[in-house]
Amino acid sequence: MPVLDPPVPLALAQPERTVPDAPGWWFEPKHDGWRGCLHLARGVLHSRSGANLSRRFPEIVHAARRHLGDVVLDGELVALRGGRLDFAALQSAPSRRATEGITIHFMAFDLLANDDHDLRNQPYRTRRELLEQTLTPVRPPIALTPATTDRQAALAWLNPDFAAVGIEGVVAKHADGRYLGNHRDWIKVRHQERVDAVVIGVTGTVGHPDALVLAQSDGHGQLRAVGLSLPLTRTIRANLSGRLTPIPGAERTTLPGPVGGLPGQPAATYLPVHPRLVVEVEADPNVEFGRFRHRPRCSGSAPYPNA
């Protein structure tokens, strides 16, 4: 009888800007994919939200069941195409993957249960050792996520060369940490690039903006919304004071959730402003359909050259 029934609450990571520099931390690369949890006894693969992904990724379930027993694995579903991880390719239907040159892999990074043993109260270092032993006979499309205690080696995963092939950054886990579902006990540090974007709207009010609606050129002289910034700091808000001008007569506009980096979340509304201000943002280098995949952080501003 399985000791854990799907879906189980998955551990979460707290976004930070620096990789921990203290004893006791392990580091893993953060792959650009979808979170998934495999329950082999049930033949179920579920997402972080609990959605059943078994029919979308049958090759993962079948491969795991051929080589593994009653285990529960936490990991990342990734799509490989053209020698790099392709996040958008995860949307491809199973019947089209072969013709489109897409292969799906499951990068396992934690072992939650083995037979009738719930391992979530065991420290990470113990779970990692058991995970490595469990996956010794396994071959792709199931794979073991690398892990190291060498911080310098982990920092290499933040190199732009790794970002270009689909490594988003670093996940840090304390060696003594238990597996706590729905708790942000892990730390994630994403590779970030500084880019410019034009402010075309604000959430909140012009006098007290909560976040900025950002746009970039579409290559044809037009501005296209590419994302919603993270909530503004007090310093940035003060720097913007008096520099944002609402468009007369413009009404609040709905910003689709995906543009705001919020898939599956309610759409935000914003007040359009004259596109006269450029801001520098720290953004994820991986974009999808011409938009930022994650909400960027605003770090400075300057007048728009065409204002």
d(CA 77, CA 90) in angstroms, rounded, equals: 8
109 contacts: CB under 8 Å, gap ≥ 6: 28, 74, 75, 76, 131, 144, 145, 147, 171
The answer to whether 202 and 211 have CB atoms below 8 angstroms apart is yes
pLDDT of residue 36: 97
Residue 164's pLDDT is 81
pLDDT at 272: 94
**Main-chain phi, psi angles of 106, to 5 degrees:** -115, 115
Beta carbons of 35 and 48 less than 8 angstroms apart: yes
Find out whether the peptide bond into 7 is cis, omega within 30 degrees of 0. Answer: yes
Q: What pLDDT does 39 receive?
A: 96
Amino acid occupying residue 179: Y
Buried b (16+ CB within 10 A) or exposed e, 121-146: ebbbbebbebbeebbeebeebbebbe
Query: Which residue numbers in the chain have pLDDT < 50?
Result: 304-307
**The CATH number, out of the four listed (3.30.200.20, 3.40.50.11030, 2.40.50.140, 2.60.120.560), of the domain defined by the range 193-303:** 2.40.50.140
Whole-angstrom distance, CA of residue 141 vs CA of residue 50: 22
Domain boundaries, the chain: 12-190, 193-303
Which residues are paired to 303 by β-bridges? Answer: 277
Q: What phi-psi label fits residue 112: left (phi over 0), alpha (psi between -120 and 50 degrees) or beta? A: alpha
CATH architecture of the region 12-190: 2-Layer Sandwich (3.30)
Which pLDDT score is estimated for 221?
82
Can you read off the two tokens belonging to residue 167?
């490594």
Q: How far apart are CA 132 and CA 91, in angstroms?
A: 29
